[in-house]
Amino acid sequence: MRRWLTFIGSRLVMMAVTMLIIVTVTFFLMHALPGTPYNNQALLSNDQLVQLNKKYGFDKPLLLQYLAYLGGILHGDFGISLQFSDQPVTTLMATRIGPSIQLGLQAVVLGTVLGVLLGALAAANQNTWIDRFCSSIAILGRSVPNYVVAVIVQSIFAISLRLLPVGLWDQGFRSTILPTLALSIAPLADAARFIRTEMIDVLTSDYIELARAKGMSEPMIVVRHALRNSLIPLITVIGPMIAGLMTGSLVIETIFSVPGIGEQFTKSILSNDYYTIMAVTIWYSAVLVEVVFLMDVLYQIADPRVRIVGKEGE
Amino acid sequence: MVRLTPPSPHATQHTSARRRAFGVIASVAAIVMALSACGSGGTSTNAANANGANGSSSRTTLKWEASGEVTTMDSGKTYDTISGEAVGFFAEPLYRQDSNGDVTPALAKSLPKVSEDGLTVDVTLRDGLKFSDGSPLTASDVVYGVRRVVDPATGSQSAKNLNYIKNATEITAGKLPVDQLGIKAVSDTQVRFTLTSPNPYITQLLTDTLLSPVKQSFVEEKGKNYALNADSLLATGPYKLADWNGTNVNWKYVKNPNYWNAKNVHFKEIDVSVVKDAASKVNLFESGQIDGVHITGDYIKQYQGKKELVTVPSLRATNLELGISSNKNLQNLNLRKALSLAIDRKQLASAILNGEATPAVGVIPNGIAKNPENGKSIAEDWGNLAPTDKDKAKTLFKKALSELGTSSVKFRLVTSDDDQSKKIGQYLQAQLQDTLPGLTIDVASVPSSVRFEEMMSYKFDLALGGWSGTWDPTSYVQQHETSYEHNHSQWKSEELTELVNDLNTKDGTDFKLRWQHLKEANQYLIDNQVVIPLVQASNSYLVNPNLTGYVTSSLGGTIDPALAKFN
Amino acid sequence: MSVADIGIAGVVPGEIAGVRHGVEHGVKRDGERRDDVRGVERDVTHDVTRDVTRDVADGPADPAAVPDALFVPRAAAVADHDAADVPHLSHAVQAWLRLRHNKTAIAAAIVLVSLFVVAFSAPVLAPADPNAQKVEYANLPPYWFSDAAEQYRLIGAQNQHFVLGTDQFGRDLLSRLLYGTRISLTISLVAAVLDIAIGVTWGLVSGLASRRVDDLMQRVLEIISGVPSLIVVVLMLLVFQPGLVSIIVAMAITFWITMARVVRGQTLQIRSLEYVQAAIVLGTPRAAIAVRHVLPNILNLIIIRLMFSIPTAIFFETFLSFIGVGMKIPNASIGTLLNDGFKVVRIYPYQMWIPAAVLCVIMLSFNLCADGLRDVLDPKMRG
C-alpha cells in the first residue's frame, strides 16, 4: 500500500512539473508566432494598436505576462478569447469540448469493440479466408485517410440515401453517427491488428497448449484465456488513442460542421488567439499526461507480473 | 458458427493471398469508379423538389445561415461582415438603406437636418421608442452608444469608422476624454452630431449599426458580461437575440414586440446555423434545411441562370499592392505599368473567381458614386483605367529591364491563406510569369494577421490586399495618401495630399467639385501606378425563391432578410 | 495537432506489442525471447542420437553388442564448431525465403517499386508542365469519360487528351499527379529516415543510460509530446518558407517520439538479458553494446517501423496541405491535390477521387509490404 502511495504521489508531482513545463514552452513559442491577435488589423491605427495592447496587457514584458497568466490560472481565470471579442476562454472551451469528447469516445468505443472482434476472429482462424478478410479491412482502415472516409459516408448516407443529416449538430444522436463512423475507422484498424498479433502470440504459447491438451474447447480457450490476456496490453494502445481523439479532429469537424474544439484550436493558432491556444494546450496535455498515468496504473493492476510500482534501481 | 481451429505452427500464407489482395484492390477500384460516376450529377437535380416541400406560404420561421461563428454581438464592436449581419437583426440604426441605396428613417423620424456650414447634423428620433425590455429609448441612449465606440476602454476595433465625428480620433488615441465627442442629446428625442468637416455622405454614414443606441444602466449592470450572451443584450431592432451563449453555432432571433415597426415583421423566429464548408452549405440548401446560403467558387457556375442564385455586387476592392518604397525594381514606372497591363482581369473575374467578382476599372470601385451632372457611372464616365494589353506589357517590361540594367526580376507575392486569395495568387503568378519573361514570382500564403503585419511594415514586394471603404469614395484614394498609415507603398505625393484634403475639408457638399477631384485623384494613382486594381468582389447566394422582401446592400454585398416574408 | 487527424493513434500496434508505455518489459517474456537473439540459429529439429538404427521390437540394446567401429568420434574442426547440420543461411536470406511465399507482400512490393519508378520519372513521363495554366481548359474531365467528348468540343479542346482531366486552372492533372507523388514520396521517405535516426538514437541512449538519465529523457519526451505539434509546425512554416524543407523538418520534429519510446523499451529488455549484463559488467562501453548487441536485434523492429511510418508521414503531409500549411504554391503534392479536389468534390468528383485512389494504393502497398516483412521478421509471428 505504501508503495502505491509513494508511486502515485511522485507521479502526481511529476505530472504537475511536466504540465508546467509544457505550458511554459507553449507560451513562449506561441508569442513567437508572427502576427497580432486583432482580427481587424487592416483598419486599426497605430494609436489604437497601442491602446488595445495596453488594455489586454500585451505591452508588458513577456515574462510578466507569463507570470500574470500563471497567477490567473490559479484563480481559474484562463483569460479571454480575442477572436470572440472577450469571451472568457472557459466558456468557449466548455461549449466546444463536449462534441469533440463525445465523438472521440464514441469512435474509440465503436472502433475498439469492432476491432477486437475482427482481430480475435482473424487470430482464431489464422490463415483462413476469415483471417484474410478481417485483416484486409484492418489494412484498408489504415490506408484511407479519415477525411476520405468522411466524404464517402457523407455522400452515400446523407446525400444519396438521405438517411442521416448532412451535418450540423442539431439532431441529437443522429448527428453524431456519420462523424463517429469516419473517426472510428482508424481505431478499428489499429485495434484489430493489435489484437490479432497479441492473440496469435498467446494462442501459440505454452499454457494454451496445455489447455488444449487438457481438452478445453477451442472457443473457450479463445474467449477465456486468449482474449483476456490480449486485452490487457490493448490498454496501452487505447490510452494515446483516446487522448488524441478527445482533442478533436479538425477535418471531420469541418466536413460535418460539428462545433468541436479541433477546428477551434487550429483557427486560434492561425489567428494568434493567445489565451485560447494556451487553454487548449493545457487541456490537451492534461488529458495526455493523465491518460498515460491511468494506463500505467491500470496495467499494473491488471498484470501483476509487470512492475512499475517500486522498481528497483539497476 | 465459425470453426475455430488451432493455428498450426508451420502455417504459411500462400494459399489465397492473391485472392485477398485482389479483393482489396477490386473493392477500392469499385468505390472510386462508382463515386466518380455518380457524384457528378448530384447537385442540381434535387433543386426542384427540395424547396417545393418547404415553400408553403404562411411559414413563420426562417432558417438562415452564417459562414462562421459570430465574433461579437456588441453593436459597438462589430468589424466583420458576419457579426455585422448578425447584429443587424436586433440592433436598429438611425437610418436604413433599401436595395436601391435610398436612405429611409429607422429610429429617426425623418431625414437628418444638416446646418449651413455642414458641421452640425440634427437627428430627430421617433416618439415612443422602447428597448426590448420595455424601457424607453431616448437620445441620451444614442449618445451613450456612440461614445462607447470611441472610448478606448471599450476596445472597439471599429472606432476608426467614426472619425467623421469631431474629436473621435483624439479620443480613440487616448488624448481627450470621452465626453468631448461631437455628439449631444439636445432633448429626449433630438441628437446633435458635430462633424470634423462637412461630409456629403453623412446620411449614408448614419445607417451604420455602430451608432445603435445602448442603455447605459444595462451595460453597467452587466459589466464584463455585457454582450457575451443573449441575456446580456437588449434589442432595439425587429428581433431579439435568443439561445446564444457566446460561441455557439446555432442561435435564434425571436420577434421583438417593442420594435417601432413590429407590424411589418413577418417572421416569428429566425434560426441561424453556422456552416463553414462550401459543399455542406449547398447540401443543406438543397435538402431544404436552410433557406439562404452564401455560395462560393465553382458552385456558382452550377447555378447560373437558376432562380435560386442571387448575386449582390459589393464595393470591396481587391488590389495588388506594391511595396514601392522597399523594392528598387518596383520604383520603375514602366515595370509597374507592365504588371498592370499583363493581368487579364476579365478572365480572373469570370473564369477563376467564377463570377464572384467583376473586373476593376480603377482605384475607386464602380457603383459607389455617379456623376452628379449626368448620372453616369464611374465606368461610363471615366472609362476603364485598368485595361489589359499583353503586348504593350511585354514592351514596357523589356524597357523596364533595360532601364534597371538587369535581365530578370524576382518578386515575392504575399497573400492571405483563404481559398480565394490563394487562387488569385496562383493565377497571377502563372499569368505574369508567362506574359513577362524574366519575371519570377514567389507566392507565400500566410494567415491574414501575418500579411497585415508585413504590409504595415512597408517592407514587402507584392501583396494581395483589399480595401473596403465607406460610402465616401474618398476613402479609396485616401488609402494612398502620404501620411495615411495604410499607405503601404509609402508613395509620397503632394498633389494627392492636396486633392484628398480638398475632398475632406473644402469641397463639402459641392458634388460636382467632388466628382472632379475624385476623378483627378483616381487618374493620378493610375498614371503613377501606385497600386494595381484587380477586381471588385461580389457575393453570391442561394435563396429560397419563395422568399421576398429581403434587402441587399452594396457596401458589404449582403442580404438582409429581417423584414422579408415567404410568398 | 490531434492524432485523430493523421488517422492513427500515435502508437502502432503489433510491432510494439512487446513494449508497454513506461513499463519495464523484461519480466514477461524473458524465457521466450531467447531465440531471437542473434548468434543462435533456429535449429531444425535434429535428433543427433540416432546414429544407430534400431527397431523398437528388438528390445533394449546391449551396449556390448554394438560394434566398435561405430564409435567414431566426430571430427570436429574448430571451423565448424558452431555449425549445425543445415546450411548456414544469413538472416537476410532466410527472411527473403520466407517472404517469397507471401504473394500479397510481393505483389505490393512490385506495385510500390513501380510507383516509385513512375513517380520519379515524372520529368520524363509527364505529358505537360504541371504548373502551366491554361484557364480556357479549366475543369475538364478525363477524356475517356463517357460525356467528356462533348465538353471538350464545346471549348475547342477536341484534340487534347487529358488522361486525368484538368484542374481549376487548366493544368494537366496527370502531370500534377506524377510530380505530386514524387514529392509526397520524397517527403515521407526523408521524414521517415530522419524520424528513425533521431528516434533510434534517443531510444538507445535512453535505454542504456543510468536510471536517472533515462528518467530525465523520458520526461523530456513526455513534454515534447505534450506541446501541440501543430503549434510547432505552424511556427516553423511561418518563420521559414513554406515548402519541402520546412515540412520535412516539421515532421521529423514531431514523429520520432513513438520510435524513441519503442526503441527504449526494446533496449531495456535486451539489456536485461544475461549476456548483455555480462558485457556491461566486463566494462564494454555503452556505445559498443548499442551497436553490437542492441542494434542488430532491433533491426527488424526498425525496418518494420520504417515501413509503417512512411504511410504515417504521407498522411501527415496530406493533412498539413489539407489545412493549408503545406507545399508552396503552385507546387503539387498528393496532399494539395486532395485538398483542391475536396473543395469541388461534388461538382468534379474525379479531382479528388483520383489522388485519393493513388494515396490509398501507396498506403496499402506500404502496409502490405510492412505486414509481410513483419510476419517474416518478427519472431512472434513465425507461428
Selecting from B21, B42, B425 the residue whose C-beta is nearest the C-beta of C104 gives B21
Do C220 and C338 belong to one domain? yes
Do both C127 and C197 map to the same domain? yes
Neighbours of chain B (3+ CB pairs under 8 A): A, C
**What whole-number distance in Å separates Cα of residue C354 and Cα of residue C351?**
6
- Residue entry with cell 495554366: C133
- Closest CA in chain A for residue C369: A139
Confidence check: pLDDT of A228 > 50: yes
Q: Which residues of B touch C348 (CB under 8 A)?
A: 40, 298
List CB contacts (< 8 A) between A190 and chain C.
8-9, 12-13
Contacts of A81 in chain B (CB under 8 A): 247
The full set of domain ranges for chain A reads 98-272
Report the relative pairing of strands B103-105 and B95-97 from DSSP bridges.
antiparallel
Counting the structural domains of chain C, the total is: 2
C347 touching chain B per CB within 8 A: yes
How many other CB atoms sit within 10 Å of the CB of residue A198? 26
In this prediction, what percent of chain A has a pLDDT beyond 70? Answer: 91
Does C163 reside within a domain?
Answer: no
Q: What is the domain range of residue C113?
A: 91-132+171-381
Residues C48 and C124 in one domain: no
Kindly determine whether residue C357 and residue B32, on different chains, have CB atoms separated by under 8 Å: yes
Measure CA A200 to chain center.
Answer: 28
* Least confidently predicted of A44-48, A161-165, A260-264: A44-48
Q: What is the pLDDT of residue B547?
A: 92
Q: For residue range B34-82, what is the model confidence (pLDDT) as tens digits? A: 443 333 333 333 333 333 344 444 588 999 998 888 888 999 988 778 8
- Per-residue pLDDT band for B408 (boundaries 50, 70, 90) equals very high
Q: Is residue C21 part of a domain?
A: yes
Question: What pLDDT, on the 0 to 100 scale, is given for residue C61?
Answer: 66
In this predicted structure, the answer to whether residue B138 has a pLDDT above a threshold of 90 is yes
Instruction: Specify the pLDDT at position C81.
Output: 58
Q: Are residues C8 and C123 in the same domain?
A: no
Calpha distance B253→B243 (Å, rounded): 8
Which distant-in-sequence residues (6+ apart) come within 8 Å of B35 by Cβ? A152, A155, C349, C353
The closest of B112, B212, B113 to B162, measured between CA atoms, is: B212
Bridge partners (DSSP) listed for residue B273: B65, B250
Of the two residues B3 and B224, the one the predictor is more confident about is B224
Q: Which residues of A touch C28 (CB under 8 A)?
A: 303, 305-306
Whether residue C291 sits in one domain with residue C262: yes
The mean per-residue pLDDT over the stretch A267-286 comes to: 78
Q: What is the model's pLDDT at position B129?
A: 93
Give the closest-approach CA distance of C226 to chain A in angstroms: 5
pLDDT of residue B5: 39
Reading the block at residue C220, the C-alpha cell is 523530456
C251-297 pLDDT, tens digit per residue, is: 777 778 878 887 887 788 788 788 888 888 888 887 887 787 778 77
Calculate how close chain C gets to A205, using CA atoms only, in Å. Answer: 9
State the count of interchain CB pairs (< 8 A) between A and B. Answer: 195
Average pLDDT over residues C240-246: 72
Interface touch A39/B289, C-beta < 8 Å: no
Question: Max Cα separation, chain A?
Answer: 86
* Per-residue pLDDT at B115 exceeds 70: yes
Q: Do A306 and C32 touch (CB under 8 A)?
A: no
Q: Kindly tell me if the per-residue pLDDT of B89 is higher than 80.
A: yes
Tell me whether residues A271 and B449 touch, CB distance under 8 A: yes
CB contact under 8 A, B20 and A152: no
Whether C75 is covered by a domain: the verdict is: yes
- The CATH number covering residue C253 comes to 1.10.3720.10
Identify whether residues C177 and C54 lie together within a single domain: no
pLDDT band at A18 (very low <50, low <70, confident <90, very high): confident
The reply to whether C255 falls in a domain is yes
Taking only the tens place, the pLDDT of each residue in A61-104 is 888 888 888 888 777 778 877 777 777 888 888 888 888 888 88
Find out whether B43 and B299 touch, Cβ atoms under 8 Å. Answer: yes
pLDDT of residue B58: 57
CA distance C375 to chain B (A): 10
Mean pLDDT for all residues in chain B: 84
Task: Return the number of other C-beta atoms located less than 10 Å from residue C278's C-beta.
Answer: 10
Cα–Cα distance measured from residue B538 to residue B534, given in angstroms and rounded to the nearest whole number: 13
Whether residues C49 and C182 fall in one domain: no
Question: How far is residue A179 from each of residues A117, A162, A184, B187, measured CA to CA in Å?
Answer: 21, 15, 8, 58
ipTM of the complex model: 0.75
The residue with cell 520534429 is C253
Residue C187 in any domain: the answer is yes
Distance of CA C308 to the CA centre of its chain: 3
Question: Which among B10, B282, B445 has the least Cβ separation from residue C346?
Answer: B282
- Identity (one letter) of the amino acid at A170? D
Q: What is the pLDDT of residue B238?
A: 94
**pLDDT tens-digit series, residues B481-506:** 888 888 899 999 999 999 998 888 88
The model's pLDDT over C114-168, given as tens digits with 9 standing for 90+, comes to 988 988 988 888 888 888 888 888 888 888 888 888 888 888 777 778 888 888 8
Q: Say if residue C67's pLDDT is above 90.
A: no
Q: Does B407 touch chain C (CB under 8 A)?
A: no
The whole-number average pLDDT for the span A220-233 is 75
> What is the structure's pLDDT at C1?
31
For residue C358, CA distances in Å to A201, B28, B128, C368 come to: 34, 10, 69, 15
User: Is the model's pLDDT at C21 over the cut of 60?
Assistant: no
Q: Does B297 touch chain C (CB under 8 A)?
A: yes
Residue position matching grid coordinates 483516446: A242
Q: Determine whether the interchain pair C228/A197 forms a contact, defined as Cβ–Cβ distance below 8 Å.
A: no
pLDDT interval class at B291 (50, 70, 90)? very high
Half-sphere exposure of A14 (CA within 13 A, CB side): 17
A188: three-class secondary structure by DSSP: helix
Instruction: Judge if C27 and C45 occupy the same domain.
Output: yes
Q: Which of the two residues, B24 and B112, has the higher pLDDT score?
A: B112
C204 in the same domain as C78:
no
Contacts of A142 (CB under 8 A, 6+ apart): A186, A189, A190, A193, C7, C8, C311, C363, C367
* Rounded-to-integer distance, Cα B355 and Cα B346, Å: 10
Give residue C37's pLDDT. 34
Taking an 8 Å cut-off on Cβ atoms, the answer to whether B72 and A55 are in contact is no
Distance CA C277, CA A241 (A): 35
Q: Is residue C161 domain-resident?
A: no
Contacts with A152 from chain B: Cβ below 8 Å: 31, 35
Chain C interface, best mutation among B8, B22, B36, B286, by max C CB count within 10 A: B36
- Interface check C143 vs B, CB under 8 A: no
**Residue C322 neighbours by CB distance under 10 Å:** 20
Show Cβ contacts of residue C173 under 8 Å, excluding neighbours closer than 6 positions.
Answer: C162, C163, C164, C165, C166, C167, C337, C351, C354
> Using the beta-carbon criterion (under 8 Å), do C345 and B39 form an inter-chain contact?
yes
Mean pLDDT of B5-20: 39
What share of chain B in percent tops pLDDT 70? 90
Flag if A127 and B23 touch (Cβ within 8 Å): no
Give me C231's grid cell: 503549434
- Pair C275, C298 in one domain: yes
Confidence class of residue B544 from pLDDT cuts 50, 70 and 90? very high
Structure confidence at residue A303 as a pLDDT band (50, 70, 90)? low
For residue B409, report the phi and psi dihedrals to the nearest 5 degrees. -135, 140
> Which among A143, A292, A305 is the nearest to C22, CB-wise?
A292
DSSP C6: G
Q: Count CB atoms within 10 A of the CB of residue B528.
A: 18
- Residue C140 domain flag: no
- pLDDT for C165: 87
Among C230, C202, C249, C221, which residue's Cα sits nearest to residue A26?
C230
What is the average pLDDT across C206-233?
A: 78
Statement: residue C3 has pLDDT above 60 = no
Claim to verify: residue C16 and residue C63 sit in the same structural domain: yes
Q: Does A98 touch chain B (CB under 8 A)?
A: no
**Which structural domains are found in chain B, ordered by start?**
315-537 (3.10.105.10)
Q: With respect to CATH, is domain A98-272 assigned 1.10.3720.10? A: yes
Give the residue on C whose Cα is nearest the Cα of B450. C238
Mean pLDDT, rounded, of chain C: 73
Same domain assignment for residues C241 and C320: yes
Q: What average pLDDT does this structure show over A112-117?
A: 90
- The radius of gyration of chain B's CA atoms, rounded to the nearest angstrom, is 28
Task: Say if residue C216's pLDDT is above 80.
Answer: yes
pLDDT per position as a tens digit, B166-188? 999 899 888 999 999 999 999 99
- Chain C neighbors of A308, CB-CB under 8 A: 22-24
Nearest to B69 by CA among C123, C264, A83, C370: A83
Beta bridge partners of B446: B416
What is d(CA B344, CA B359) in angstroms, rounded to the nearest whole number? 9
Tally Cβ neighbours within 10 Å of residue B264: 12
What span, in angstroms and rounded, lies between the C-alpha atoms of B419 and B417?
Answer: 6
- Would you mind telling me the total number of residues written for chain B in this entry? 567
